[in-house]
Structures are given as structure tokens and as C-alpha cells.
Structure 1
Amino acid sequence: MAQVPFSEPPWLMGLPSPIYNNSHRKWQAAIRPLIQKLLHDRAVEWDVGETVPEHVFGEFAAANLLPAALPAPLPVEWLKRLGIHELPGGLKVEDFDSLHSAIFGDEMTRSGLAGPGGSITTGMAFGVPPIIKFGSKAVQERFLPELLTGKRRACIAITEPDAGSDVAGVTTTAFKSDCGKYYIVNGTKKWITNGIWSDYATMAVRTGDPGSGPFGLSLLVVPLKGHPGVSMRRLKVGGQVSAGTTYIELDDVRVPVENLLGEEGHGMLYIMTNFNHERMAIAVGATRQARVALSSAFAYVMKREAFGKPLIQQAVVRHRLAKAGALLESQSAWVEQFAYQMTKLPRNKADKELGGLTALLKAHSGMVLKECAEVAVLLFGGNGFTKSGQGMIVEMIYREVPGIRIPGGSEDVMLDLAVRQLVKLYQSKTEALTAGPGAKI
């Protein structure tokens, strides 16, 4: 059966690609029907109901799909120790790369909605990696066995009512008790995805003086569900309603000092490295959402008639599709390029070379989604403004646009950050060239 234009990235439309190999194609072919069965068959229904049933998370864990939410390379030693040697399709955990990761993110959003997939993977994708990268051996032994196998859940908790993209403005405090065995945590966290279901939060806290800015931040694994002093409630948001957006209050919460990740005062550095994976994941998902919106509109205008002929025969309709399609395919190619570059660069070099550009990629993905979703709503007409029927999915996607443009670093902040990081990288390379051979970049 012929595929609707823009419904799939070119490499899945039968066109040649220099980026994907047989391993990537086998992975995509294996996980698509599995994710369709576990999630997408009822994704719209669950999103309308605002909650994905708890058993779905367990089914993803049982299928060994949860580790695919982690950044590549995977924690191979840990996974094998826990009995996870392969992912679906026979993909060995040591062979999982950033292209496999991008394919997984794309497939998880193929319903067109970010909420259902995000309800399963967000905590694993962003809450667990800092424990893997910065946790002591004792911390890892305590938390990773249950988190990596899905027996327990974690989230990332950075944002506060008065500190969003301005991470240095975090005010939640963590000061040591008189006995020195605990951090006493006080404060609030807001807009925390998956928080309501999480046993732990990888949390940004201020261990330094109030005026210490980014140098006073640390990362702490904070117990949540059922822990004394912790109260949580779900927030009603405009889109991604099934992802469990949560408001967390912390009142003299006692956390063992052993739950500190890395060193005190280094939290800002740890958070920034974690953001790169988050922003890449957002860009991948937003690109697939844009595909669903635009291809749905394309299919609609080929059958919908107005003024005695199909809408596709109207020049203005074709013009809208063309402009949005050009943006979509450019964004799609950029995402693929990023994922490919990450397979070729060591992780620390990728973080440095691609950090600013990742912020730009994330910001641009929101702009492209906005254009494609808006075009889809306009071409669906009244059906695109109705919460049921033919245009239901594009109406839902359109409501999710702010959820791409704001979380993970708001759009304006990302645009500024991208240029500042590029300038900083340029200047450091220029200084190294001036210093002569052997200088570090």
C-alpha cells in the first residue's frame, strides 16, 4: 500500500540512506509492532482519560524496552549483571547506539502524542542517567538494580515554581542534620513529569549559601512515594496530559547523605550534561508529532471536497503543505545527522561539540511542530478544532505544541544558549590554536 506523503522519514519510505545499517533497520522492524500493541493501540483513549494504566510500564519492562530510553552507550555491565543481554529484535545491549535511541524515540511517539510514551520513558530517560554517570558504587548498588528492571521508578526534579530554564535559581535547600547523617530537604518542585508514580527523584538542591548561584547546586536522590515529609499532586496541563505532571512539596525530608550524586556544588555541571539527552529526545519526538499532524492533513485534503473539487486541487492548500513539508524534512534530516554524529564521537566530546547545537535543535523542533500542527488544524477546518472525529488527533497535537517549546529549556533561552555556547567553543578553539601544538581545546 502506498504511504501518505510525509508520513514516514525517507529511510522508511523505501529511499536509500547512508546513515542507517541493517542493525537499525532490524531494530525498527522489531519494535514497531511491539510498541503498537503495548501502547499505540490505546494511546489516544488513555490520553483522553489522562492516565496510562500502571501495568503498561511493567509490560515495557518485561519486554526489555525500558533500557532503550537511556542515552547511548547503555550501561552494559549493569544490564548484563541484571540478566538483560539483548533488547527486542536480538539487539545486543553493547551494540545499542544513538541511532537506535532515536529510532526508539520516534516509534514511541508514532501515535502523534507525547503523553502516553512520556508516561513510560521520561523518568528512565532523564532521572536514571545521573545515577549511572555520577553515583558512587554504593549508590548505584542501592538504586540501579530495581530502576533498570522497572521494579521501581525515578524522575528528574529540577524545575520549581520560580526556577525553570534558569536552573541556577533553584531554591530547594538541602542542609546536613546535626548528626551529619542526613540532608534535610525543604522546598517545592513543579512540572515534574512522572513524579506522581516515582519512588525516587534525582533532584537539584541547594547545598550552598542562598547567593551561591550555580556553584551551590548539588544532585541528590530523594525518596518520594510514601516518604515522610513528601507530598505530591498531579497538575492539570494543556497537553501531554497522561504523562503525570506533578507538584512536589518537601517539608524537612530526611535523605541519607550517601544519596548525594558526585560532589557537592557540582550539580549544575551534572544537570547540563543530562540536558543534552533530554533535548535530543524532545526533538526526536516533536519531529514525529509534526509528521503525524502533516501527513494526517495531507490524507484529509486528498479526500475532502470544497467548491466542487478535492482540497488538494486548491493551490493555496498545496502551498501550505509544501512549506510545512520542507521544514519537516529539513528538521528530520538534522535529527538524523545529530544521532549519526553521536555514534562517531566520544560522549564527552559530543557533549562539548554538540551542546549548543542540541539546544538549537530542540528549539527548532518546537518551531517546526508549531508550523505543521497549525497547518494541519487549518486544513482540517472545523474538524481540526473539534475534540472528536476526523480531526481529533491534530487538535490534540496542536495543544501539545507548548509542551515542546517550553520544557527542557524554553525556546528563547535555548536560542540564546545555542549562540553563547557556539561563541564559547569558537573562542576556546581559537585560543588553543594561538597557544600552539599540544594545547588542550
Structure 2
Amino acid sequence: MPRPIPFSEPPYLCGLPSAYYTPSHLRWQKACRAFVTENLHQHALDWEREEAVPPQVFQNFAEANMLIPNLPAPLPVEWLHKLGIHDILGAVKVEEWDYLHTSIFCDEMSRSGLAGPSASLTTGMAFGVPPLIKFGSKKLQERFLPDLLLGKKRTCIAITEPGAGSDVANIETTAEKSEDGQEYVINGTKKWITNGIWSHLCTMAVRTGGPGPSGLSMVVVPLLDYPGVSMRRLKVGGHSTAGTTFIELSDVRVPVFNLIGEEGQGMKYIMTNFNHERLTIAVGVTRQARVALSAAFEYCLQREAFGKVLMEQAVVRHRLAKAGALLESQWAWVEQFVYQMTKLSKAEADVELGGLTALAKAQAGMVLDECARCAVLLFGGNGFTRTGRGEIAERIYRDVPGARIPGGSEDVMLDLAVRQLAKNYQRQTKLLERPRGSSKL
């Protein structure tokens, strides 16, 4: 087996020992890579140029149960068994699935270096379905989950608005009950909704009460061809194939039956899935950085300038070394996070890792920025061109804002991380304080 280009693979795939991965994980990685390479990556660059992934690709993934890995671990085993899904690609049983399997999937889905093609397939299942699984009533789940889990219908998460991005508590889209109390009448707009343009329905954050987070709820809202719903695709700097959408809602009527959980609990439901969202983003973005840097490394071994190959120039080696150190440090940190997720309960992970996950997501965007910029500069004119040898570096660099803004913008994530770390410290310190007037420790 040929030795991989430096920085092109995580250490465990370069033959180096790792305490994290079991035979189940290694078996899954091989099966996952083979499927994703054949069904996505070999055409990903062409689809990104055309700004469209053929609908059949989604169906190929659905028929192979390869949309299921987007869900948080552990998987909803009871539902999957009910639908006849017992394993993924014959490599791993659904009841054995943990966050390391999830991480391998996210890493492999990003191996093309392009965020858009994979996001066109993953975002709806990863972020739109979990609130329904975790908080939806049994009847609501029975109505929607079979079609969603089997990929017969597509969905998305609709939270962000023109005036409320990371500031979720200020969502303005309203859902008021009809006079007979049987329907919600929804009015407002949603913006930058990934996968929205293809989605039959969505999990939407709406305001059912007063201002602030306590007035938010989550509702399943039909989209495609539904009365009062208007959608148009947005052109964005990167993620060209991900189906970024602007949604307008004018007196959209949905049954109150479509409420997820309880009114006024929407903020809680939204926050519950943020750790999954940010961790999966961090894994995929780190792989993008790996693709950019390893492409530049290979180029520098071949390109000649000033009478010698670029790799013989000290300044080139310095750039690669600096970016490589950041990349491998980020991967080690993310890998550590993922392992910890396999050992902590959901409640423990939300408290102990919530702020740090936000920090890891923010740091992933910074590392991608550094690695992509390094690649563009080392490719020179080729890295500034949308075709040819440097095309992959140019396209990854365009994806950088898509890593640093969606899923919680970078500055908000940095602030959130420190605030939660301080809160955890203060809470634990208070628990250790000696009661006043007591001699007991």
C-alpha cells in the first residue's frame, strides 16, 4: 500500500497506533470510504461546478441507509428496527453505533474537500430530524419519522432569520393559534436554510409566546408546494451545491398536532442538538483543512521555481509546518472530544463539553482558514484560478466563511465557550463551599 501524502490522512489511517478505534470502527471506515467514494466523491467536483447534486444521489444514500449516520449517537434503534434497518452497509449494527462511527462518517463525507456536495445530503437528517426523535410525541413520530428515516421525504432545520442568526432568542417568525385552536397560522421569513429548496417539510423555530427564549417553540412545517410557503435559492460564496434557501411564510396553516414537545420549550430543544451540530461541523471542516494542506504539500514536491522544487525553499517548508501543526493539533482535540462523547451520558456531555464543543467548532474554522490560505499561496496563480491544478485549493478557500459562520458564528462561539466554562467552574466551586456557621468540611 503506498504511503499517503503527509497531512492527507489522520494518524490512525497512516498505521500509527490509536487507543480510540476498535475493529468495528476500522471495518466501518473501509466500508464507508468505498461507498462514499463511488457515490459522491468521484463526481463531487463536477457537481460543485454545476452547483447541483443530482437527486438520484440522495436516493442512493437513502437506499443504502447511508443517511442514518447523520443522526446523533446512539441511534434510535427501536425505530430503525421497526423500519427493517439493522445495520449500516453490513459493517456495523445500529445498536453498536457510537460517536466514533459518526466521526468517521463525517470525516469520510468531507474527503473531496468540498463542503457543498456532502451538505446537500446530510444537513436535513443531521439537524432537522433529531428534535422530532428526542421531543416529538409518539403520534407525531409515527406520522413523519418513517418517511424521513427511509429518505422518502427530505427535511431541513429552519431557525435562522434575516434578523436572527446566532441570536436565536430574537426569532420573529410567529405561530398564532386559529380561532378554533386547531391550527397554527405562521408568518415570517427564514434565511440561509441549508437543503430548504428540496425539503418536503422542516423543523421550524417559531414564536408562540412573548419575547425572549421562553416564547419559542418548534413545529413541523410542510414546505414544497404548500399553501403560503414561498422558497427561492440563495447564491452564497461557498457550499454552492448545499441548497441554501430563503423561505417566506404567509398565513401558513399547520395543525397544532405538528407541535414538537411543548410550547415555550423551543429554545431548550434547539440547544440540545447544538453540540451534535458543532461537533460534526468540526470533524468535517478539519478534513477539509487536511485536503487543502495535503494538496499543497504534493504540489510543492513537484513544482519548480528559481531552479529547484518548491519543497527545497525554506519559506515553503515553514508555511507547511505551521499549518500542519495547527491541523494535527485540531484533529487530536476533535478526536479526544469524540471519544469523550462515547463515555459520557448526553446530560453529562451537554454540561462538561458544551462550551468546549463550541470552541472546537470555532477553532476548526480558524484552522481551515490557515490551511486553505497556505494552500492558495503555495499554489500561486494556480490557487487563484477556478480551473486546473489549484482548483481544489481555490474552492476550499471559498468554503472558509461557511465554516466560520453557520452553526454559530465564530465570535459568538468563542464567547459562549468561556461563559460556559466560567459557569461550570463557579457552580462546582459553590458546591465545595463550607456551609456558613458549620465546622464540617
Superposition TM-score tier, normalisation by shorter sequence = over 0.9
User: C-alpha offsets along residues 386-409 of structure 1, whole Å, 9 cap, x if unaligned?
Assistant: 000000000000000000000000
Q: Which amino acid aligns with 1:301?
A: C
Residue 356 of structure 1: aligned partner: 355
Matched, 1:189 2:190: yes
- Give 3-state SS (helix, strand or coil) of 1:231's partner: strand
Verify the 8 A CA contact 1:26 1:89 in the aligned structure 2: no
User: C-alpha offsets along residues 346-396 of structure 1, whole Å, 9 cap, x if unaligned?
Assistant: 111111111000100000000000000000000000000000000000000
Q: Which amino acid aligns with 1:198?
A: S
Verify the 8 A CA contact 1:187 1:250 in the aligned structure 2: yes
Residue 430 of structure 2: aligned partner: 431
Residue 439 of structure 1: aligned partner: none
| 1:138 Cα offset (Å) | 0.7
| 1:435 Cα offset (Å) | 6.9
| 1:424 Cα offset (Å) | 1.0
Q: Which amino acid aligns with 1:176?
A: K
Q: Which amino acid aligns with 1:67?
A: I
- Give 3-state SS (helix, strand or coil) of 2:433's partner: helix
Q: Which amino acid aligns with 2:159?
A: I
| 1:89 Cα offset (Å) | 3.7
Matched, 1:98 2:96: no
Matched, 1:138 2:139: yes
Residue 438 of structure 2: aligned partner: none
Verify the 8 A CA contact 1:207 1:264 in the aligned structure 2: yes
Scaled by the length of structure 1, what TM-score is found? 0.98
Residue 71 of structure 1: aligned partner: 72
- Give 3-state SS (helix, strand or coil) of 1:39's partner: helix
Find the aligned partners of 2:337 and 2:434 in 1 and give their Cα distance: 30
Find the aligned partners of 1:286 and 1:61 in 2 and give their Cα distance: 24
- Stretches of structure 1 that go unaligned for 5 or more consecutive residues are 437-441
Verify the 8 A CA contact 2:24 2:91 in the aligned structure 1: no
- Give 3-state SS (helix, strand or coil) of 2:227's partner: coil
Find the aligned partners of 2:91 and 2:162 in 1 and give their Cα distance: 44
Residue 300 of structure 1: aligned partner: 299
Residue 227 of structure 2: aligned partner: 228
* Structure 1 residues 28 and 191: CA distance shift in structure 2, 3 A: same
Matched, 1:311 2:310: yes
Residue 58 of structure 1: aligned partner: 59
| 1:433 Cα offset (Å) | 2.4
Matched, 1:414 2:413: yes
Alignment of 1:5-24 (within 5 A): 5-24=6-25
Find the aligned partners of 1:417 and 1:15 in 2 and give their Cα distance: 35
Q: Which amino acid aligns with 2:157?
A: I
Residue 207 of structure 2: aligned partner: 206
Alignment of 1:110-189 (within 5 A): 110-189=111-190
Find the aligned partners of 2:431 and 2:270 in 1 and give their Cα distance: 27
User: C-alpha offsets along residues 6-53 of structure 1, whole Å, 9 cap, x if unaligned?
Assistant: 000000011000111111000001110110010001000001111100
User: C-alpha offsets along residues 207-243 of structure 1, whole Å, 9 cap, x if unaligned?
Assistant: 112xx21111111111111110001010000000100
| 1:262 Cα offset (Å) | 1.1
Matched, 1:327 2:326: yes
Verify the 8 A CA contact 1:31 1:89 in the aligned structure 2: no
Residue 44 of structure 1: aligned partner: 45
Q: Which amino acid aligns with 1:332?
A: W
Query: Which deviates further from its counterpart, 262-271 or 123-132?
Result: 262-271
Verify the 8 A CA contact 1:280 1:361 in the aligned structure 2: yes
User: C-alpha offsets along residues 295-318 of structure 1, whole Å, 9 cap, x if unaligned?
Assistant: 000000000000000000000000
Verify the 8 A CA contact 1:161 1:190 in the aligned structure 2: yes
Find the aligned partners of 1:69 and 1:306 in 2 and give their Cα distance: 45
Find the aligned partners of 1:97 and 1:235 in 2 and give their Cα distance: 35
Verify the 8 A CA contact 1:64 1:87 in the aligned structure 2: yes
Query: What is the aligned-residue RMSD (CA, Å)?
Result: 0.8
User: C-alpha offsets along residues 43-99 of structure 1, whole Å, 9 cap, x if unaligned?
Assistant: 000011111000100000111111001010000000000000010143100000000
User: C-alpha offsets along residues 308-332 of structure 1, whole Å, 9 cap, x if unaligned?
Assistant: 0000000000000000000000000
- Give 3-state SS (helix, strand or coil) of 2:242's partner: coil
Alignment of 1:339-378 (within 5 A): 339-378=338-377
Matched, 1:381 2:395: no
Residue 83 of structure 1: aligned partner: 84
How many positions carry a matched residue from both structures? 434
Find the aligned partners of 1:332 and 1:406 in 2 and give their Cα distance: 20
